[in-house]
């Protein structure tokens, strides 16, 4: 049976190119016939290229941008040289279809962009500069060359935007679904690196941007997917009007390079830092545990976008819970010494949300009515997510 979900489509305006994509359902691993719709081009079976042909084809449009990339794709290894007195940062992420993404509503181009960005975010979270990525794919039969090209187009745009080089990877057939593994290499001067362990009593806690938007975007996409599945209307158009921002935050997150740049400009060196991938609660507890401290964050200081608030109201969800525990915001959470108060107060990309305390004070959120609520990690967990299915 060939089951293509072709009635769930949308176009995000601010992707640099047309991103309307129609996607194969992940329940069906038979080869797809995507050319039923006029905007889908002819399809090419990946096996016609062979593995090396595929790699050559996909990586052709990735120029080398960094001096530290001595050799990129095309030899047994990439060769990287950051020079002396520089430390190498390495981070890797595995994305599995059905666990981390649902192709019913995630366009492949966005998925490619996001797969790169989430890795870069980890390098920025160490106060480093990402330089190189490797990309490995497991591809099942229902994906054609044109699908993988869309995925790589998203990756190419991300690499261009953030100035990183694609220097290697691997591809293989997969029995079912799409598997994406991205590794990012970056660099930093030894003294610039910020760990999770450096927060001290009386430090100030700051977070960039706003929280909960990506999570509310996911809730909206999930809702529209369910509606689409129920009504089985060929012309079903999900209604995202007025909610573009939260959809964008879910499908096309950005790494906060600008926050790092602003801190450098203002002469701020955080004592501890993380990116918010699993939810603010979870990340705060990581910093508290790893630094051996406690914290107080103030509910009325948690930055929340208007669209996030509207969506929470529409879905009858607790807004602060969504902001504290919703993941995938990729904002930066960091602590600075109290003496830097005036500097962080001048930051445009981040705001103060609380303070670090002695460890025996525990980790609490101070509510608007001055109650203290213990912070618990309720962030997203891939292992429990898999168990629930």
* DSSP H stretches of helix in the chain: 50-59, 108-124, 145-162, 213-231, 244-251, 257-266, 280-291, 306-314, 319-325, 341-345, 382-388
Cβ proximity to Mg ion: between 23 and 273 the closer is 273
Least Cβ distance, residue 286 to Mg ion (angstroms): 9
Neighbours of 358 (CB within 10 A): 12
Q: For the residues of 354-375, what is the DSSP string, one character each?
A: EEEE-GGG-EEEEPTTS-EEE-
**Total site size for Mg ion, rule CB under 5 A:** 2
Least Cβ distance, residue 265 to Mg ion (angstroms): 23
What distance, in Å, lies between the first and last C-alpha atoms of the chain? Answer: 23
Cβ proximity to Mg ion: between 256 and 355 the closer is 256
CA 287 to chain centre: 20
Least Cβ distance, residue 194 to Mg ion (angstroms): 12
Cβ proximity to Mg ion: between 78 and 125 the closer is 125
Q: Which residue has the tokens 């799409």?
A: 178
Least Cβ distance, residue 307 to Mg ion (angstroms): 25
Least Cβ distance, residue 258 to Mg ion (angstroms): 17
Q: Which two tokens stand for residue 89?
A: 């940062």
Least Cβ distance, residue 60 to Mg ion (angstroms): 31
Cβ proximity to Mg ion: between 122 and 299 the closer is 122
Query: Rounded CA gap, 370 and 389, in Å?
Result: 39
Query: Rounded CA gap, 57 and 145, in Å?
Result: 10
Cβ proximity to Mg ion: between 145 and 207 the closer is 207
Least Cβ distance, residue 329 to Mg ion (angstroms): 11
Query: Rounded CA gap, 166 and 80, in Å?
Result: 12
Least Cβ distance, residue 308 to Mg ion (angstroms): 21
Residues of span 42-81 touching Mg ion by CB under 5 A = none
Cβ proximity to Mg ion: between 180 and 333 the closer is 333
Order of all β-strands in the sheet with 86-96: 86-96, 179-189, 129-139, 165-173
Query: Rounded CA gap, 209 and 75, in Å?
Result: 41
Cβ proximity to Mg ion: between 103 and 288 the closer is 288
Residues of span 109-148 touching Mg ion by CB under 5 A = 122
Cβ proximity to Mg ion: between 122 and 187 the closer is 122
Q: Tell me which residue of 88, 90, 155, 91 sits closest to 117, measured CA to CA.
A: 155
Cβ proximity to Mg ion: between 192 and 222 the closer is 192
Least Cβ distance, residue 237 to Mg ion (angstroms): 36
Q: For the residues of 176-189, what is the DSSP string, one character each?
A: SS-EEEEEEEEEEE
Burial call 320-353: b when 16+ CB within 10 Å, e when fewer: bebbbbbbbbbbbbbbbbeebeeebeebebbbbb
Least Cβ distance, residue 121 to Mg ion (angstroms): 7
Q: Packing angle between helix 306-314 and helix 213-231, nearest 10 degrees?
A: 40
Residues of span 249-278 touching Mg ion by CB under 5 A = 275
Q: Does 248 bind Mg ion (CB under 5 A)?
A: no
Query: Rounded CA gap, 72 and 59, in Å?
Result: 10
Query: Rounded CA gap, 110 and 104, in Å?
Result: 13
Residues that bind Mg ion (CB under 5 A): 122, 275
């Amino acid at each position: 049976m060939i089951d293509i979900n072709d009635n769930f489509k949308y176009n995000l305006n601010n992707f640099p190119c047309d991103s309307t994509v129609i996607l194969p359902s992940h329940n069906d691993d038979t080869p797809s016939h995507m050319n039923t719709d006029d905007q889908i081009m002819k399809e090419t079976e990946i096996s016609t290229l062979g593995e090396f042909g595929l790699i050559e084809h996909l990586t052709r449009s990735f120029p080398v941008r960094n001096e530290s990339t001595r050799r990129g794709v095309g030899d047994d290894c990439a060769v990287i040289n950051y020079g002396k007195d520089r430390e190498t940062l390495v981070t890797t992420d595995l994305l599995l279809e059905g666990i981390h993404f649902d192709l019913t509503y995630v366009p492949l181009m966005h998925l490619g962009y996001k797969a790169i960005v989430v890795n870069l975010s980890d390098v920025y979270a160490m106060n480093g500069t990402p330089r190189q990525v490797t990309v490995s794919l497991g591809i099942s039969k229902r994906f054609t060359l044109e699908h993988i090209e869309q995925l790589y187009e998203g990756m190419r745009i991300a690499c261009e935007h953030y100035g990183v080089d694609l220097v290697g990877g691997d591809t293989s057939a997969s029995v079912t679904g799409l598997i994406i593994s991205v590794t990012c290499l970056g660099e930093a001067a030894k003294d610039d690196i910020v760990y999770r362990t450096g927060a001290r009593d009386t430090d100030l806690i700051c977070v960039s941007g706003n929280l909960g938007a990506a999570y509310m975007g996911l809730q909206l996409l999930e809702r529209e997917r369910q509606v689409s599945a129920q009504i089985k209307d060929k012309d079903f158009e999900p209604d995202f009007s007025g909610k573009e921002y939260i959809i964008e935050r879910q499908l096309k997150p950005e790494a906060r390079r600008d926050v790092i740049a602003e801190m450098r400009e203002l002469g701020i060196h955080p004592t501890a830092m993380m990116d918010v991938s699993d939810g603010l609660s979870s990340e705060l507890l990581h910093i508290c545990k790893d630094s051996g401290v406690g914290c107080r964050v103030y509910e009325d200081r948690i930055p929340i976008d208007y669209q996030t608030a509207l969506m929470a109201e529409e879905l009858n969800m607790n807004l602060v819970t969504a902001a504290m525990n919703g993941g995938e915001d990729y904002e930066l959470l960091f602590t600075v010494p109290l003496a830097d108060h005036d500097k962080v107060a001048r930051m445009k990309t981040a705001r103060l949300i609380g303070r670090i305390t002695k460890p025996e004070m525990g980790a609490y959120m101070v509510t608007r009515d001055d109650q203290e609520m213990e912070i618990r990690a309720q962030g997203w967990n891939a292992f429990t997510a898999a168990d629930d299915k």
